């Protein structure tokens, strides 16, 4: 039996299908259409039937919901066994997952089980029209070059994709597809002694930087941890997530979960406010798909202005406090008018 079709590995968190699944479906739909094959999506978890219809409306032709109470939480070896079993049954030529903590853990394990190749952390995917091979583009050499990788022999071709590097397709209520709810194919022995002891939530962020509609990010131009509080204050007023460059994280001003760029998170918010950051290639790769970018920098030639929709050339220590005060004044006026 030959390999055919594209399979997207969806994610569920806390009993809900995560939005990264719909981003992957947009990627997968484009590839499947170029190849003229079907697009399937698998989500491994418990009690997820309610999400099957939306997955179809977002682009899937077939949805596999692998359901078992033991699969409610992510256990790498157990989930790996289930995914490998499904791949062995339906034999897709391409398998895509998100380059999240779960995806980066799961996919190497599955690739090893199947003897397949895996390209990690892709920012671009396409199809070679002549060879019908998956073109997997990812940053290399510290982000200074972009490498395009092909897998000519091993199947399936497997890749993890950066979250927020594509926008989900809008829901299409008229789409038709098959929803298959299947029991677990493997037993607890497949987890090789792994079990969940505790789930510890990241409390360093009120708003997750990858899921936020607004991100306020700061760079080394803020000069100190105390000054970085300007970013945090502005983010608090806007209900935004706090982002940072790699330099800021390396200096210890803020933790790694806030890092944006090739070596951190990729974000695509409605509004991205860049304060005191120059806009290196590595950082731009993590935020350039933002809908609206506002940059504040005293260097008029800073790279960040090349992607900014609105630029303020000025000393951030003058501009940002004034901006904070104006937002506070506007909020207070609105509250007074509502009384």
pLDDT in tens, 309-327: 999 999 999 999 999 999 9
The pair phi, psi for residue 236, each rounded to 5°, is -60, -40
Cα(265)–Cα(247) distance, rounded to whole angstroms? 14
Fold (CATH) for 6-191: Rossmann fold (3.40.50)
Q: Are strands 241-244 and 214-218 parallel, antiparallel or unpaired?
A: parallel
Q: Grade residue 143 by pLDDT with cuts at 50, 70 and 90.
A: low
| DSSP single-letter state for residue 259 | B
pLDDT > 90? residue 140? no
How does the average pLDDT of the chain come out, rounded?
Answer: 90
How many residues does the structure list for the chain?
A: 339
Residue range 229-252: average pLDDT? 95
Cα(278)–Cα(305) distance, rounded to whole angstroms? 9
Cα(51)–Cα(337) distance, rounded to whole angstroms? 42
Sign of CA dihedral 17, 20, 22, 24: negative
The CA-to-CA distance between both ends of the chain, in Å, stands at: 70
Cα(271)–Cα(291) distance, rounded to whole angstroms? 6
**Angstrom distances, CA of residue 4 to CA of 29, 200, 290, 300:** 14, 39, 34, 51
Nearest to 248 by CA among 235, 234, 229, 267: 229
pLDDT at 202: 66
pLDDT at 192: 62
pLDDT at 240: 94
pLDDT > 70? residue 50? yes
> Which of 2-11, 71-80, 329-338 has the highest average model confidence (pLDDT)?
2-11
Cα(50)–Cα(53) distance, rounded to whole angstroms? 7
Sign of CA dihedral 17, 24, 257, 323: negative
Name the helix (H) or strand (E) containing 82.
helix 76-90
- In CATH terms, the superfamily for domain 214-338 is TPP-binding domain (3.40.50.1220)
What's the pTM value of the predicted model, to 2 decimals?
A: 0.73
Q: Which sequence spans correspond to the domains of the chain?
A: 6-191, 214-338
pLDDT > 90? residue 274? yes
């Amino acid at each position: 039996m030959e390999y055919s079709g594209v399979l997207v590995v969806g994610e569920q968190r806390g009993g809900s299908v995560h939005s990264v699944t719909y981003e992957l479906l947009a990627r997968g739909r484009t590839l499947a259409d170029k190849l003229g094959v079907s697009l399937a999506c698998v989500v491994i978890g418990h009690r997820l039937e309610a999400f099957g219809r939306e997955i179809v409306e977002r682009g899937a032709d077939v949805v596999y919901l692998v359901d078992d109470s033991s699969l409610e939480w992510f256990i790498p070896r157990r989930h790996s066994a289930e995914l490998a079993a499904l791949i062995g049954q339906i034999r897709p030529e391409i398998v895509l997952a998100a380059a999240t903590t779960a995806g980066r853990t799961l996919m190497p394990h599955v690739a090893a089980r199947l003897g397949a190749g895996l390209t990690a952390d892709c920012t671009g995917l396409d199809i070679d029209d002549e060879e019908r091979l998956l073109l997997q583009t990812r940053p290399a050499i510290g982000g200074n070059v972009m490498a395009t990788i092909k897998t000519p022999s091993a199947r399936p071709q497997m890749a993890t994709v950066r979250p927020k590097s594509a926008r989900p397709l809008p829901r299409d209520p008229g789409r038709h597809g098959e929803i298959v709810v299947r029991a677990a194919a493997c037993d607890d022995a497949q987890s090789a002694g792994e079990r969940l002891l505790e789930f510890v939530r990241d409390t360093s962020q009120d708003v997750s930087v990858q899921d936020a509609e607004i991100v306020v990010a700061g760079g080394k131009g803020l000069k100190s941890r105390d000054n970085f509080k300007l970013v945090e204050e502005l983010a608090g007023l806007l209900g935004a997530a706090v982002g940072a460059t790699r330099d800021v994280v390396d200096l210890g001003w803020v933790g790694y979960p806030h890092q944006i760029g090739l070596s951190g998170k990729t974000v695509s918010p409605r509004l991205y406010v860049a304060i005191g950051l120059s806009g290196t290639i590595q950082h731009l790769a993590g935020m350039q798909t933002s809908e609206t970018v506002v940059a504040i920098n005293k260097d008029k030639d800073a790279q960040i202005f090349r992607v900014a929709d609105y630029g303020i050339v000025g000393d951030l220590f003058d501009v940002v406090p004034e901006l904070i005060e104006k937002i506070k004044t506007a909020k207070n006026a609105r509250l007074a008018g509502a009384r």
